[in-house]
């Protein structure tokens, strides 16, 4: 039986290779820094190569790969480059996402499809692409970055985003059902209100922040570092008996 004193060591991911999509800014860049700090070799994926290279210069050994996750060829190249440089892939953080609030009666079907293409279809394509070598190795952890808007309705007009994030949760559970016995764990992280490029306008609006303060039981949005522990838990052996779960980090917002 492991010594309880070794509990903190289970959060370390020394020597593991982790792909983070949407790594050019916001939560993705933060996730890459956190995984690197815990010992992982990180592969940074996003469309903006200049930002990836700047982050890679900060994180020793990081590999920047320009990638449009909606393109199958780019997804395949991302995984192939990872294996070519590092020989393996142990962790995938499916973080890339888009969304623009719009009333459901006005949002075009075309835009709805674009959001699902990035947030859901591309996430499946990447999970499939890394899942094959993970299944062959008999180990791996996939963390799908969903949202509390994928678990409950809200007063925010965000139909395509909510549908995509709800679908990502269902995909998480289905991949778990198929892959758990073969050593690959798949979980979802569901952040609440955190400041990113996508939410910058909301955070700059006093009325919106007042609404968050009134509706979140903790009375505030999350700070960037308040996702660190949840990410490391799901990516590391600390969650070795956890799969198919949705971990909400939302200050209690979905509890009421």
List residues with catalytic annotation.
161
Q: Which of 168, 177, 181, 1 is nearest to 97 (CA)?
A: 168
Q: Token pair of 113, please?
A: 């499809």
CB 151 within 8 A of CB 254: yes
Residue in this structure with the two tokens 């549908």, named with its chain if needed? 163
The pairing of strands 41-46 and 17-21 is parallel
Evaluate whether 71 touches 122 at the Cβ level (below 8 Å).
no
The phi, psi pair for 249, rounded to 5°, reads -120, 90
């Amino acid at each position: 039986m492991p010594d309880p004193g070794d509990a903190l060591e289970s959060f370390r991911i020394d020597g593991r290779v982790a792909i983070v999509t949407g790594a050019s800014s916001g939560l993705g860049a933060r996730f890459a820094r956190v995984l690197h700090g815990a010992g992982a070799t990180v592969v940074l994926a996003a469309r903006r190569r200049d930002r990836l290279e700047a982050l890679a210069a900060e994180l020793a050994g990081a590999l920047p790969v320009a990638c449009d996750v909606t393109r199958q060829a780019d997804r395949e190249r991302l995984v192939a480059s990872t294996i070519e440089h590092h020989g393996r892939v142990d962790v995938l953080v499916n973080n890339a996402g888009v969304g623009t609030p719009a009333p459901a009666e006005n949002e075009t079907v075309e835009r709805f499809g674009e959001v699902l293409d990035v947030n859901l279809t591309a996430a499946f394509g990447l999970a499939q692409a890394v899942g094959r070598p993970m299944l062959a190795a008999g180990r791996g952890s996939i963390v799908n970055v969903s949202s509390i808007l994928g678990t409950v309705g809200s007063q925010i007009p965000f139909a395509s985003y909510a549908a995509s994030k709800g679908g990502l949760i269902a995909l998480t559970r289905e991949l778990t059902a198929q892959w758990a016995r073969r050593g690959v764990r798949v979980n979802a992280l569901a952040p609440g209100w955190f400041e990113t490029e996508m939410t910058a306008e909301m955070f700059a609006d006093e009325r919106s922040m007042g609404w968050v303060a009134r509706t979140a039981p903790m009375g505030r949005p999350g700070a960037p570092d308040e996702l660190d522990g949840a990410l490391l838990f799901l990516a590391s052996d600390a969650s070795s008996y956890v799969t198919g779960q949705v971990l909400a980090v939302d200050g209690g917002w979905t509890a009421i």
